[in-house]
């Protein structure tokens, strides 16, 4: 392996070790090598749509370089920015596609030329079937993210309900 290829592989492994859903396996070099083996790099130019809300997708994206904007559409058809994710934040999106086959819940647009590490559902499932010691901790981490989002949504709904009740009573 050439020194440049070795450096690139080391940089990708380092990035993967920074991603929170891999925390439980990041210290096991064999696991990280296997994970690295199912990642492919993909580039998008500034302004490119990576994921469209409502489309079905089967990939998770790790922001390797660059930045993206996560957008949602209101019922009235207006777009609003939920969050901007930058590579230095060690972030990812689309992780639910590794678990289910549902539609994408948001649109993701590159805000600058960006590069991603992409993991497909097919590769993730195959990796988990072959190495349950990799698949289970990562799936557990995704489940924790989902639980946290559900709790936040429930809290937000209660806040909205309380505000509505107060408005009606006044």
The pLDDT profile of the chain, 170 residues, written as one tens digit per residue, is 788 888 899 999 999 999 999 999 999 999 999 999 999 999 999 999 999 999 999 999 999 999 999 999 988 888 889 999 999 999 999 999 999 989 999 999 999 999 999 999 999 999 999 999 999 999 999 999 888 878 877 776 877 777 777 778 77
Looking at residue 127, its pLDDT comes to: 97
Q: How would DSSP label each residue in 81-134?
A: EEEEEEGGG--EE-GGGGT---B-SSEEEESSSEEEEEEEHHHHHHHHHH-HHH
The number of CA neighbours under 13 Å toward the Cβ of 54 is 4
pTM for this entry: 0.88
Looking at residue 41, its pLDDT comes to: 97
Closest-CA residue to 41 (of 22, 23, 66, 17) = 66
Fold of domain 3-169: Jelly Rolls (2.60.120)
Each domain of the chain, given as residue ranges in start order, spans 3-169
């Amino acid at each position: 392996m050439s020194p440049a290829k070795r450096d690139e592989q080391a940089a990708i492994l380092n990035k993967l070790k920074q991603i929170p859903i891999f925390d439980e396996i990041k210290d096991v070099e064999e696991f990280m090598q296997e994970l690295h083996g199912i990642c492919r790099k993909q580039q998008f130019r500034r302004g490119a749509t990576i994921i469209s809300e409502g489309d079905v997708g089967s990939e998770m994206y790790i922001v390797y370089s660059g930045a993206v904007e996560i957008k949602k559409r209101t019922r009235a058809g207006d777009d609003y920015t939920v969050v901007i994710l930058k590579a230095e934040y060690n972030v990812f999106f689309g992780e639910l596609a590794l678990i289910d086959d549902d539609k994408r819940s948001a649109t993701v647009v590159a805000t600058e030329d960006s590069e991603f590490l992409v993991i497909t559902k097919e590769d993730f499932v195959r990796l988990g079937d072959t190495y349950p010691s990799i698949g289970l901790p990562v799936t557990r981490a995704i489940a924790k993210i989902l639980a946290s989002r559900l709790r936040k949504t429930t809290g937000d709904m209660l806040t909205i309900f309380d505000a509505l009740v107060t408005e009606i009573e006044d």
